Amino acid sequence: MFQYAAGLALARKLGVSLKVDLCYFDFTPKFVYSLSCFVGTPKDLNDFATFKEVRSYSGVFLRFVNSLNWYYKLFHKYYYMWPKLRPFFTIGNSVYREKQFNFDPQYFEQSTPKLVIGYFQSERYFSEIIPEIRKTFELPLSILNEENKKLFDSIKSEDSVSIHIRRGDYVSDGAANQLHGVCDLSYFYEAVRLIQRKRNGKALSLYVFSNSPEWAKENWNLDGFKVHFVTGNYSGSYDGIRDSIDLLLMSSCKDHVIANSSFSWWAAWLNNREDKLVVAPQAWFKDTQYNDVDIIPSHWIRLGDRSLLR
């Protein structure tokens, strides 16, 4: 979602169409293209880049690789595993490569269409087209079954707070854990109490979402609040269907406590209430080499410190 939003912002500035490269998914069966769940995202074949188009905008070296299979083997193996080779793979004036994790103002100094490579995890990349991004990432209520419709109605009628506990590969994958870390439960408890104070002691209803829903249900231990554990939607897959149901439900809450996760970031961001409260972890990464200064919008609340990432 960050990549699409940033790409659309640059396309609008240049007055050109945005095309999405889906070739990567041919080599990563664990993941599928799932932006089609949103109302305004590409669904027509003309909105997706062909291999010929991707190759024509690639760095000089990769333009001479005729096989899609070899192109992605070379690019994804060496580009992502060997950072020092990234400048070599992106030589040429038709590629923009994200050079840093924080916002790069040079991104909008591009004067010609580009192959854009990066994560772009900052609202600053699409701040000029926020209304369009909100409309683009709208989710239809028709994706909700009867059980989720009842949950949606409860969320809308209460002083609801979404809690997102991100675990999964942040726990099971050693490299992911060293990079991201997992927010300690004490962070969530403190964040909930903070929201309650700012809401003048209102009786909050907490809606807990997680990609480890049973773990969250077994380990949550905060008294004095009405708690709903949303356990029926997450399937462990990345099909973009069940995930989008949780995204819609989370974004429908009045306030949010997010994890160091782009999933809950977007759930909070898609809530268009002007008076919403969003609490985010002070440190987005466990690894201190990454600059996370731009990832959290200035009007959100950052809480805690790096010691809360386990």
Q: Higher pLDDT residue, 170 or 191?
A: 191
Does the pLDDT value for residue 17 go beyond 90?
yes
SS3 136: helix
CA distance 170 to 163: 17
Beta bridge partners of 278: 256
Q: What percent of the chain has pLDDT over 70?
A: 93
pLDDT in tens, 137-150: 999 999 999 999 99
Cα angle for residues 234, 169, 151 (degrees, 5° grid): 20
Helix (H) or strand (E) holding 278: strand 278-281
**Would you state the pLDDT for residue 87?**
73
**Would you state the pLDDT for residue 81?**
66
**Would you state the pLDDT for residue 172?**
82
**Would you state the pLDDT for residue 276?**
98
Could you give the domains of the chain? 2-131 (no CATH), 142-308 (3.40.50)
**Would you state the pLDDT for residue 83?**
67
pLDDT in tens, 174-193: 888 888 999 999 999 999 99
**Would you state the pLDDT for residue 245?**
93
CA distance 266 to 34: 15
pLDDT in tens, 30-76: 778 889 899 999 888 888 998 888 888 887 767 778 887 777 777 76
pTM listed for this prediction: 0.92
Written as one letter, the residue type at 117 is I
CB contact at 8 A, 284 and 266: no
**Would you state the pLDDT for residue 69?**
78
Q: Higher pLDDT residue, 291 or 276?
A: 276
Does the pLDDT value for residue 101 go beyond 70?
yes
Mean pLDDT of 234-253: 81
**Confidence band of 95 (pLDDT split at 50, 70, 90):** confident
CA distance 18 to 129: 14
Alpha-carbon dihedral sign for residues 287, 240, 245, 209 = negative
Q: Higher pLDDT residue, 72 or 273?
A: 273
pLDDT in tens, 198-242: 999 999 999 999 989 899 999 999 999 999 999 877 656 556 677
CB contact at 8 A, 114 and 7: no
Taking alpha carbons only, the member of 257, 263, 249 closest to residue 300 is 257
Per the prediction, the chain carries an average pLDDT of 89
Q: What percent of the chain has pLDDT over 90?
A: 61
